[in-house]
Structure 1
Amino acid sequence: MSNLNIKAVAEHTYDAIVVGSGISGGFAAKELCEKGLKTLVLERGHLVTHLEDYVSMNKDPWEFENFNRLTYKDREDFFVQARSGFVGEENKHFYHNDKADPYEEKQGFDWIRADVVGGRSLLWGRQCYRWSDLDFEANAKDGHGVDWPIRYKDLAPWYDYVEGYVGVSGEKMGLTHVPDGNFLPPMDMNCLEKHIKKEIESKFRFRHMTIGRVANLTKEHNGRGACQSRNRCSRGCPYGAYYSSNAVALPDAAKTGNMTLRPNSMVHSVIYDEQSGKARGVRIVDRESKEMIEYYARIIFLNASAPGTAAIMLNSTSDRFPNGIGNDSGELGHNIMDHHYRLGASGTFDGFEEVYYQGRRPNGIYIPRFRNINEQTKTAAFLRGYGYQGGASRTNWARGANDKAFGANFKDNLVQAGPWSFSITGFGEVLPYHDNHMYLDQNQKDQWGLPKMVFDARYRENEMAMREYIKSDAAEMLEAAGLKNVHTWDNIGSIGIGVHEMGMARMGKNPKSSVLNKNNQVHNVPNVYVTDGACMTSSGSQNPSITYLALTARAVDHAIKELNRTNL
């Protein structure tokens, strides 16, 4: 019997384990495999294979039974996901069934989840903006949260590395607070966007506008084809023209022969060894059989999303860590951040009636942060800042939906392009509040025996004050650019709706106030790394995914060096 157990342990032992296959997990798997490590990738969702499982990638609107709307049954099953407005008939098969696996909300928390191999890398907005020391030094300067243990110089070469692999198109601007990167040629702005850019930059000293820096290819790159401007990205791209784990990282990991991918694997906890002071592996519950299985490895990367990773760590208790692995600080599960958005301004423009554009560009414009970037832009109204995303387009036939007109002339007019309009949405930073947190209710277990997650987080005074400026600044810029009928809106929603949930296992210099060190290692458990959104110490105002990738590449490099030194 002992021989059988030894054999079973050997068959379940790898050099590395990666939990999660999304934006950071897929990249961690690729890096570890390419460096020669036999790597097990555990994903709680079901298998989605590039091309093979993009079931709606080529469908036209009229081919959907419900015209891309969710049914009443769908809305019951996806009752959290549906709040986002991102889910439709075209992509619901990638999203999480909330009814089958609910969580508790003390205050509203919109956790938008993918439930597939590849995770939200199939669904992300693909916007890629580097952080700068304006972001990495913010906590230290204003006293919110703890100081980051790294600065821009620590990540700059890794931004270069991942941008070269991912393929990010964009324009260099020479702004120190939004550093330039290793870009492919930028997408083109349309005529109204170019006009508005010129007007904003001529009338406001520190305000700039550019095309979005986006992980959609504008030319062939590393064997992948250029974006076809179909704007069907959330269905999966048959060309691999935007970066996803499914189209890029996981296939490259598989090519090495070193990857084992195991979907339908609900990670229960990390196994901690009291004698060595390291993790031995992880426990999973098979999603279908509900059998608990253990896997072992020398290093473990936790990339299950910020809440998912924090939940696994909180559930990983031992005599050494009674409150969760690495939780000497008591900060595990705390400091939930996101970006607050869904507010801004819109307007119409008289002119350019003779000009149109081609394709459905899956990208928009970006106005980088311009508040609190220096002494000249400092305001006492709030801390940190915000940027804008948006774009210009011409209205289509839908503009006549509520019109009382009828007849041939009415219909003929509707097939012509309508007036130009322009809209921008603000994305603002959320401060790291200790009281914004998630915890586990061990008295309530789901069907796999995992404790229920409970969220208790909200926006506070700083975010609300910032939102007033986001609206007024947006309207001011549109009016200065000559737009008419300018109006603002504010549909705040809950934390999580920005789909940039961060914090909960933050990096820091001191194990008494943070969970991870400067190398993304769990304090006092050196062979466990966290490089998803859980590691973030502040939220910045930029989309965070390219920063997760840079942190992941840097952490894998560190882990390999430590393995070679026999420190792990």
Structure 2
Amino acid sequence: MNLNTEAKKGSTYDAIVVGSGISGGWAAKELTEKGLKVLQLERGRNIEHIKDYTTATLPPWEFPHRGWLTEEEKASHKVQSRDYPYSEYNESYWVNDEECPYTEVKRFDWFRGYHVGGRSLMWGRQSYRLSDMNFEDNLKDGHGCDWPIRYKDIAPWYDYAEKFAGISGSIENFPGFPDGKYMPPMEMNCVEKSVKQRVEEHYKRARIVTIGRTANITENHNGRTACQYRNLCSRGCPFGAYFSTQSATLPAAVATGNLTLRPYSIVNQILYDKDTKKAKGVMVIDAETNETMEFYAKIIFVNASTLGTTFILLNSTSEAHPEGLGNGSGQLGHNLMDHHFRCGASGRAEGFDDKYYYGRRANGIYVPRYRNMGGEKRDYVRGFGYQGGASRGTWHDNIPEMAIGGEFKDLISTPGNWSMGLGGFGEMLPYYENKVYIDKSKKDKWGQPVLAIDCEYKENEKKMRVDMINDAAEMLEAAGIKDVHTYDSGCDPGMAIHEMGTARMGRDPKTSVLNGFNQMHEVKNVFVTDGSCMPSTACQNPSLTYMALTARACDYAVSELKKQNI
């Protein structure tokens, strides 16, 4: 891949894309394919497909600490090391918290990856459409502002995104769970099939169990090789079997000859021209030299991830925009949301001891939302889905004490008990007081002020968790699972790594930052299509929606550019 990673100082382009994660990669692909000369700016290092996935094929014994973190790594990654995503297996993909601090007014786990590809290299890959219900909930129950679009507006773009990214899944024809353009689904194992059958019979298909819809391809696609069932996705996939910037959108953008990618480029602010009332470019800090420079373009797509984007916009102050670029509504930085999870139930499955499964499927099962639908009303609004699966334990379960001899050999070659679990993913409401703002009392490695985050779950989320726990146990018991136990491991915002909402779309410029095409109400040549644009979270994993919104916004932006409207 011949990639131009050197951009001349002061150069002018048709478009600038800030960020190279899921939405930034899509923006670069769409804009270059439409003929625009695009500069893509990434604040971190370059990671080249295959070559730089240095741990992708290493066996466990070749890691000095067998996947565990050193005390030094924990010290420099105090936030990243709070949960499982950060490990020795992909340690280099996660941000150094000492170099990139932030202020936690209340606990918020901000998991970040600063490199080409961003979190598209480490994401969980679950890919679901939002439904009509999700686009209408805000208007119906009065929380947040009304979405400026409906399902019919984005449906063709979901089709487009799914076909290019490669999403495997099964058609279910279930209310509030729109079907899409899928590759053949991964197979459920014997216990999951049994649970599916019993749950759907017990609830007369008012609840369903389906295989996860995942951005792992099950057939070769666009030069990418089908999933090998290694389940080592978070290290980077040398087969290109899951969707990432490196495996999919970046090669497409490079193939046009219209892309300039510049790593180590921290966008500090967007430059505003008060005469034209448009953005004229961006100011960049070179992450290696600390030198500042400016780049110019006709349109700018800001895709630096929800909180990264919001920092840039808040930091882009001028006489015309004293509170941040496009912040006449006062909503920029507010309405921060994340999903809440880490609660549910699990138990033991009997009667399948003669069965096993093949490979390490990089996917689980999914139960779509069924609460507060069809006229039902709980003591909370919105709802939740479940992710989970069944597996067999290891031989350790069967050995009360270490032994020697033939019996020991038989035991260690016999798998343990089957278990089945369901973990809830719940919707969080948009609250104005859940916010971020710039804290000028603290600086990062490059001398920039930092973001302060003040966010918490409230009563609606807490009430929902009761159902998330109890329903999981009820379903497992209805499916014949034994020794079912419930759990609530506690959850703080940020942990689901689905942060959204701080530059929301809306119909009214007085209450929102962006219009229905992800275009700033006040600055017509600036578009935002990452998670910050979301007026609500639904309970589904959001990345597929970012892909579809980005493709749609690029189509609109280029059309408006040709009409000389921006």
TM beyond 0.5? yes
Residues of 1 paired with 2:354 and 2:207: CA distance? 29
- 1:423 aligns with 421
Moved over 6 A (4+): none
The equivalent of 1:485 in structure 2 is 483
Contact 1:171 1:183 in 2 (8 A): yes
The answer for the alignment partner of 2:403 in structure 1 is 406
CA–CA distance in structure 2, aligned partners of residues 478 and 410 of structure 1? 33
**Partner residue, 1:452:** 450
Deviation at 1:251, TM superposition (A): 1.3
Question: Aligned partners of 1:374 and 1:436: how far apart in 2?
Answer: 30
1:4 counterpart residue number:
none
Bigger CA drift: 490-499 or 541-550?
Answer: 490-499
Q: Separation in 1 of the partners of 2:425 and 2:387?
A: 8
Post-superposition Cα deviations, 1:43-79, rounded to whole Å, max 9, x if no partner, equal 1111100011000011111111100111111111111
User: Could you say which residue in structure 2 is the equivalent of 1:141?
Assistant: 140
Confirm whether residue 178 of structure 1 aligns to residue 173 of structure 2: no
Contact 2:103 2:439 in 1 (8 A): no
2 CA distance for matches of 1:296 and 1:103? 29
Aligned partner of residue 282 in structure 1, secondary structure:
strand
Matched, 1:519 2:517: yes
Question: Any unmatched runs of 5+ in structure 2?
Answer: 1-6
Counting only pairs closer than 5 Å after superposition, residues 116-131 of structure 1 correspond to structure 2 as: 116-131=115-130
Residue in structure 2 matched with residue 230 of structure 1 by the alignment:
230
Once the two structures are TM-superposed, the CA of residue 20 in structure 1 deviates from its matched residue by: 0.5
> How far apart are residue 400 of structure 1 and its match?
5.4
Q: Is 2:559 the counterpart of 1:561?
A: yes
Give 1:351's aligned residue. 351
User: In 2, distance between residues paired with 1:87 and 1:192?
Assistant: 30
Question: Structure 1 residue 446: deviation in Å?
Answer: 2.0
Q: Using the alignment, how far apart are the partners of 2:350 and 2:527 within structure 1?
A: 54
Question: How far does the alpha carbon of each residue in 1:402-447 deviate from its partner, in whole angstroms, 9 at most, with x for none?
Answer: x335333245313211111011110000000000011001233223
Name the counterpart of 1:476.
474
Q: Residue 169 of structure 1 contacts residue 213 of structure 1 at CA under 8 Å; is this kept in 2?
A: yes
Counterparts in 2 of 1:417 and 1:36: CA distance versus 1, 3 Å: same
CA distance in 2, matches of 1:337, 1:411: 51
Q: Give the structure 2 partner of residue 240 of structure 1.
A: 240
CA contact (8 A) 1:396 1:415 kept: no
**1:308 maps onto 2:308 in alignment:** yes
Deviations 1:281-311 (A, max 9, x none): 0111111111111100000000001000000
Question: Which residue does 1:462 correspond to in 2?
Answer: 460
CA contact (8 A) 1:272 1:318 kept: yes
> In the alignment, what sits opposite 2:328?
328
Scaled by the length of structure 1, what TM-score is found? 0.97
Q: What is the DSSP-based 3-state SS (H/G/I as helix, E as strand, rest coil) of the residue aligned with 2:214?
A: coil
**Alignment root-mean-square deviation, CA:** 1.3
Question: Hey, what's the Cα distance between the residues in 2 that align with 1:241 and 1:153?
Answer: 30
Aligned counterparts of 2:218 and 2:76: Cα–Cα separation in 1: 37
2:389 corresponds to which letter in structure 1?
A: G
- Secondary structure in 2 aligned to 1:137? helix
- Could you tell me whether the CA contact under 8 Å between 2:398 and 2:416 is conserved in 1? no
Aligned counterpart, 1:364: 364
Secondary structure of the structure 2 residue equivalent to 1:18 = strand
* Separation (CA, whole Å) in 2 of partners of 1:83 and 1:30: 34
What's the offset of the Cα at 1:176? 3.3
Aligned-partner residue type, residue 20 of structure 1: G
Give the residue type in structure 1 aligned to 2:509.
Answer: P
Q: Look up the match of 1:16.
A: 15
Matched with 1:3 is: none
CA gap of 1:550–1:459, structure 2 versus 1, over 3 A, is same
Counterpart check, 1:318 vs 2:315: no
TM-score, length-normalised on structure 2?
0.97
C-alpha distance in 2 between matches for 1:159 and 1:531: 14
Match of 1:542 in 2: 540
Partner of 1:388: 386
Greater alpha carbon shift after TM alignment, 429-438 vs 251-260: 251-260
Structure 1: which amino acid aligns with 2:544? I
Q: Distance in 1 between matches of 2:72 and 2:122?
A: 22
What is the SS of the residue equivalent to 2:486? strand
* Structure 2 residue matching 1:59: 3-state secondary structure: coil
Q: Secondary structure at the match of 1:91?
A: helix
The count of aligned residue pairs is 558
Q: Distance in 2 between matches of 1:32 and 1:411?
A: 60
2-structure distance, mates of 1:416, 1:404: 16
Give the CA deviation at 1:219: 0.6
Q: Secondary structure at the match of 1:247?
A: helix
How far apart in 1 are the matches of 2:496 and 2:419?
A: 24
